[in-house]
A and B are shown apart, each in its own frame.
Chain A
Amino acid sequence: MASKLTLSNRAGWTFALPGFALIFTFIVLPFFFAIGLSLTNQRLLSPNPTQFVGLENYQQLLGLAVVTLEPERNDAGEMIRNEAGEIQYPRLRAITRSDDYPQYRGMREWFRWQSGENVMVVIASDVVFMKALVNTFLFVLVVAPVQGSLALMLALLINHRVRGINLFRTIYFMPVVVSIVVVSLLWRFIYDGQNGLLNSILQALTFGLFQPVDWLGNPSTALPSVMAMSIWQAVGFHMVIWLAGLQTISPTLYEAAAIEGASRWQTFRYVTWPGLRNTAVLVLVVITMQGFALFAQIDVMTSGGPLDSTQTLVFQAVERGYGKQDISGGSTISVILFAIVLAISLIQRWLTRER
Chain B
Amino acid sequence: MAVNPDNYGLRLFVRYLVLCLIALIFVFPLVFMINSSFKPDSQLLADTASLRAFLPVGDISLNNYFGAFRRAPVGLFVLNSVLVTGATVLLSLLICSLAAFSFAFLQWKGRDVLLSIVIATLIIPFETIAIPLLLLVSKLPWIGLDGLHWGWLNSYRVQIIPWIADGLTIFLFVQYFKGLPGELIEASRVEGANWWQVYYRVVMPLSGPVLATAAILKFLVMYNQYLWPLIVVQQESYRPVMVGLGYFFQLNVAWGEVMAYLTLITVPVLVFYLLLQRAFIASIASTGVKG
Contact = CB atoms under 8 A, between A and B. Distances in A.
Contact of A179 (B117, B223, B273): B223
Contacts of B167: 23, 27
Interface in A149-193: 154, 157-158, 160, 162, 165, 168-183, 185-187, 189-190, 192
Interface residues of B, number: 94
Interface stretch (B46-54, B61-69, B70-78, B204-212): B46-54
B79 interface: no
A76 to B, nearest CB: 58
Interface in A228-252: 232, 236-237, 240-241, 243-245
A169 B132 CA distance: 40
A20 B100 CA distance: 10
Nearest to A247: B285
A189 B48 contact: yes
A176 B216 CA distance: 12
B12 A15 contact: no
Contacts of A321: 130-131, 134
Contact of A178 (B18, B269, B285): B269
A28 B288 contact: no
B199 A232 contact: no
A243 B284 CA distance: 11
Determine the interface band of chain A, counting residues with CB < 8 A from chain B. 35 or more
Interface in B230-279: 230-231, 242, 245, 258, 262, 265-266, 269-270, 273-274, 277
B273 to A, nearest CB: 5
Contacts of B110: 13
Contacts of A196: 48
Contacts of A182: 33, 242, 262, 265-266
A168 B258 contact: no
B284 A176 contact: yes
Nearest to B106: A12
Contacts of A245: 288
Interface in A41-82: 42, 44
B233 to A, nearest CB: 12
Contact of A19 (B27, B33, B170): B170
Contact of B131 (A12, A168, A180, A330): A330
A44 B265 CA distance: 33
Contacts of A237: 284
Nearest to A258: B1
Contacts of A206: none
A200 B26 CA distance: 18
A196 to B, nearest CB: 6
Interface string B20-62: 0011011111101100000000000110111001000000000
B71 to A, nearest CB: 16
Contacts of A37: 132, 135
A8 interface: yes
Contacts of A173: 277, 280-281, 284
Interface string B87-107: 000000001101111110111
Contact of A13 (B15, B45, B108, B123): B108
Contacts of A175: 26, 29-30
A121 to B, nearest CB: 32
Nearest to B45: A195
Contacts of B286: 244
Interface string B157-187: 0000110111100100000000000000010
B142 interface: no
Nearest to A12: B108
Contacts of B16: 162
A31 B99 contact: no
A120 interface: no
Please classify the interface of chain A as helix (H, G, I), strand (E, B), loop, or mixed, using the class held by over half of its residues.
helix
Q: Looking at A15, A18, A25, A245, which has the most chain B CB atoms within 10 Å of its CB?
A: A15
Given A15-B101, A177-B270, A187 B29 contact: yes
Q: Looking at A11, A168, A338, which has the most chain B CB atoms within 10 Å of its CB?
A: A11
Interface string A290-320: 1011011001000000000000001001101
A334 B124 CA distance: 10
A34 B129 contact: yes
B270 A174 contact: yes
Contact of A195 (B26, B29, B49, B95): B49
B106 A15 contact: yes
A261 to B, nearest CB: 9
B125 interface: yes
Nearest to A42: B135
Interface of B: 12, 15-16, 18-19, 22-23, 25-30, 32-33, 45-46, 48-50, 53, 95-96, 98-103, 105-111, 114, 117-118, 121, 123-136, 138, 161-162, 164-167, 170, 186, 189-190, 195, 199, 220, 223-224, 226-227, 230-231, 242, 245, 258, 262, 265-266, 269-270, 273-274, 277, 280-281, 284-290
Given A19-B164, A236-B26, 17 more contacts: A8-B108, A11-B106, A12-B102, A13-B108, A19-B98, A23-B118, A37-B135, A173-B281, A174-B26, A174-B270, A176-B220, A178-B224, A185-B258, A186-B32, A186-B262, A243-B285, A335-B128
Closest 4 CB pairs of A and B: A12-B108, A19-B99, A321-B131, A15-B102
Interface of A: 2, 5-9, 11-16, 18-20, 22-31, 33-34, 37, 42, 44, 154, 157-158, 160, 162, 165, 168-183, 185-187, 189-190, 192, 195-197, 199-200, 232, 236-237, 240-241, 243-245, 278-279, 282, 289-290, 292-293, 295-296, 299, 314, 317-318, 320-322, 327, 330-331, 333-335, 337-338, 341-342, 345
